[in-house]
Amino acid sequence: MIRRTVSILMGCAVLLAASACGLTGGALEPDEPSTRIVLTAAPPNGTEATPEDMKAAADAFRARLEAGGRTVADATVDGSTVTLDVNGKVDDETRLLLTEPGVISFRQVLALGVSGTTASASALPDIPRDVIAGFDALDCTDEASHQADAAGSDEFLLVCDAAGTSKYVLGPPEIDGTDVAEANAGRQEGASSGWIVNLRFDDQGTTAFADIVDRLQAEDSPRNQFAITVDGAVISAPALMPGTAITSGEAQISGDFTRGSAEVLASQLGADPLPFPFEVQEISPQ
């Protein structure tokens, strides 16, 4: 997999030289405070953390943290544990960089409903009945429904939005994070001037995204929408109006972002995703 690059406003990624394990790098300044972070792999049931997975995770941790302007002095792997020595303190948003896989996908919205409503099977002839039954049963008052288990999900995805008011049947992923060449956080232009995440796709992603835009704008609502999901949660689901053409390979993800959450998402998308979630075992000042 080609390593993607990250550029975060107010900070830049510096990939440090690696040892044979790819895990040693720059040193902290003598008077600079540092934090030790100990993380344990939490792969899904039935799978195990291989040495290759752990090496990939350590590299991803380094890329994510350095994208936010942090120096990673050391990153070591011992079995299913990764230990990181980084500069500065670790806040709640930084913890997300260290625990969540950061798997992005673009999926067509096939059905959209209000929480508590049911769908007509005759109106959704291309969706299997068991998927419709799952959609009908989806309870958006349960926060667990706001994030679907997207691991290995190449088919339909059933999920509610973050507000718990709408529920979706999403089609298979048509673009994923491997198609993202660069991601950065920035201010949205215009009256709202909120925080957004800018994406630039590689050549394959640019072609795929242009095809999606061209195809979906001819669909009726809600199938003219594509959902952007990260780790199974719907971040945004914009509609494409007739006449829309996006061939530049660039896109924006808007949502209820703070600066910190936009930078975290950009860091996740600009580096390879973690092979599985991790759990924080220790965060201690050094």
Which tens digits make up the pLDDT trace of 109-143? 999 988 777 776 667 888 888 888 899 888 898 88
User: Domain extents for the chain?
Assistant: 5-101+271-285, 104-267
| DSSP assignments along 235-279, one per residue | EE--B--TT----SSEEEEESS--HHHHHHHHHHHHSPPPSS-EE
pTM of structure: 0.74
DSSP-assigned letter for residue 151: T
Rounded Cα distance, 146 and 157, in Å? 11
The CATH architecture that domain 104-267 belongs to is 2-Layer Sandwich (3.30)
Say if residues 72 and 20 touch (Cβ distance below 8 Å): no
Rounded Cα distance, 224 and 108, in Å? 8
Per-residue pLDDT tens listing for the chain (286 residues): 444 433 333 332 222 223 333 344 444 455 567 899 999 999 988 788 999 999 999 999 998 888 777 889 999 999 999 999 998 888 877 787 888 888 888 999 999 988 777 776 667 888 888 888 899 888 898 888 888 865 445 788 999 988 888 999 999 999 988 898 888 889 988 756 789 999 999 999 999 999 999 999 999 999 999 998 888 889 889 898 888 888 899 988 887 888 888 888 888 887 788 999 999 999 998 7
